[in-house]
Amino acid sequence: MISHIDVSSVLKRSVCDLYSNLVTRPTGAAVRIGIEHHLDEIGDKSLAVLDFSHVGLLDFSCADEIVAKLLQQYVSDDIPRREVYFVFYGMNESHIDAIEAVLERHGLALVTQLADGAPALMGIIEDDQREAWEKICELGSARPADLADAIGVPHEKAARTLDTLWRRRLVIRQESGYVPVRGVIS
């Protein structure tokens, strides 16, 4: 199930309908809780498009509360809260500044959808994971054997890399193989 979440609307609902800027930790925490409530209402396996198009400013503290703390709950290596994938959409340069800083601080990565509709990775990601992710985007879908053939690595290594990307919620695991996380907004 794909769910579109307008972050600006969550801000207005959760904090104050006069605000258009995501600033301060308490505001970030309130917005994150609003997003979590929304995610609780959708299925156990879902893709959430977090839309920042109507957000004015996003400061570092708020980015830490919303982006980092949200991702940490769903990309945990042990017991993630649920199988939720995120696409971050509509981010401007200053949003990206703040989000990159918090991703670096926590060693996290996410998928963002660029203006041309193409997905891109942001944050901390090793070279072999990035190469695999880009190849899956190119192929559209891949099993470990497909990836191993495409990038010339042993099957076991391809399987491990795909598993890591899935645990980080950067690819979706399906019966037919792994597919890239993408938004549907054009």
Partner 1 sequence: MTTVIDVPHSLDDRSFEDVFDQLAPLPPDEKILLDARRTRWASPFGLTALLTIAQTRLERPTFAVPENDDTASYWSRASFFKHAEGLYDITGRVPRARQASESSVLLEVTPVVHTQDVHTVVENIQQRAQTILSEKLHLKSTVTMRFTMALSEICQNVIEHAGTGGWVAVQAYKWQQRLGGRNVVVIAVCDAGMGFRKSLESAQGPRPGDRWGDAMALEETVMRGATRFRDPGRGQGLQGVKRFIGNWNGKLSVRSGTARIAIVPTWDEDDVMKEDLAPFPGAQVQITIPEWMPDA
Q: Does the protein bind partner 1 through residue 21 (CB under 8 A)? A: yes
Q: How far is the CB of 66 from partner 1 (least distance, A)?
A: 11
119: closest CA among 143, 87, 165?
87
Instruction: Point out which span in 11-19, 78-86, 144-152, 154-162 binds partner 1 (CB under 8 A).
Output: 11-19
Q: How far is the CB of 104 from partner 1 (least distance, A)?
A: 10
Q: Does the protein bind partner 1 through residue 13 (CB under 8 A)? A: no
Q: Does the protein bind partner 1 through residue 64 (CB under 8 A)? A: yes
Q: Does the protein bind partner 1 through residue 60 (CB under 8 A)? A: yes
- Rounded to an integer, what is the distance from CA 84 to the centroid of its chain? 9
Cα 33 from Cα 27, distance rounded (Å): 10
Q: Does the protein bind partner 1 through residue 141 (CB under 8 A)? A: no
Residue from 42, 101, 150, 159 in contact with partner 1 (CB under 8 A) = 101
Spatial contact of 86 and 121, defined as CB atoms under 8 Å apart: no
Cα 63 from Cα 101, distance rounded (Å): 9
**Interacting residues with partner 1 (CB under 8 A):** 16, 18-21, 23-27, 56-61, 64-65, 68-69, 92-94, 97-98, 101-102, 105-106
